Amino acid sequence: MIGEHPYVKWAIKVIEAKIKEGVILKPDPKFLPPEFFQRKAGVFVTLHTLDGNLRGCIGTFLPTTPDIANEIAQNAISAALEDPRFEPVSSEELNDIVVSVDILSAPEEVKDESVLDPKKYGIIVESGWRRGLLLPDLEDVDTVEDQIKIAMMKAGIKKYDKIYRFTVERYR
């Protein structure tokens, strides 16, 4: 697995421990920087093959755990083993996976699509209890219209009642 940033290295370590040893690593302040335990945020972990194909992507847009160390660990395992679009990652694949970690800002509701920018902001569309999220700066998503259309398709809706934007810190 490939990744340089400490967040990404932590995600890789968690995935490898789960796949190779069946162990779920618990974050340990002796081995992780203090920042891992001082921040709470939504986190997405994305896996790609070496040739750039999506292999898994799972995340939370709001924090669901006490800190980003736990949020990364939870979503890393889910991205590798529980993304319903893919078979679980096998131990044979581990050397051919590229990992990225996105730390999300809190979503803010917007009233006007003109303040959106698919390169800068991710979006969440909402209609009733249905919600669709699309991260920012994705390949082949160049317009606000495309971004909204894809997010609505993910939510299974034809129009949204509310739309939110957020930024990400992307680590590789």
| Edge-to-edge strand list for the sheet holding 130-134 | 108-110, 162-166, 122-127, 130-134
Which residue, 66, 65, 60, 69, is CA-closest to 42?
60
Q: Catalogue all structural domains in the chain, each as residue range(s) with its CATH number.
A: 6-104 (3.30.700.20), 108-171 (3.30.1490.150)
Percent of the chain with pLDDT over 70: 98
Q: What is the band of 4 on the pLDDT scale with cuts at 50, 70, 90?
A: confident
pLDDT in tens, 91-135: 999 999 999 999 999 999 999 999 999 999 999 999 999 999 999
Give the residue carrying structure tokens 């930024």. 167
Contact 88, 80 (CB under 8 A): yes
* Pairing of the two strands 168-171 and 122-127: unpaired
pLDDT in tens, 40-95: 999 999 999 999 999 999 999 999 999 999 999 999 999 999 999 999 999 999 99
Which H, E and C letters describe the chain, residue by residue?
CECCCHHHHHHHHHHHHHHHHCCCCCCCCCCCCCHHHHCCCEEEEEEEECCCCEEEEEECCCCCCCCHHHHHHHHHHHHHHCCCCCCCCCHHHHHHEEEEEEEECCCEEECCHHHCCCCCCEEEEEECCEEEEECCCCCCCCCHHHHHHHHHHHHCCCCCCEEEEECEEEEC
> What is the amino acid identity at position 4?
E
Q: What is the band of 157 on the pLDDT scale with cuts at 50, 70, 90?
A: very high
pTM: 0.93
Q: Bridge partners of 125? A: 132, 163
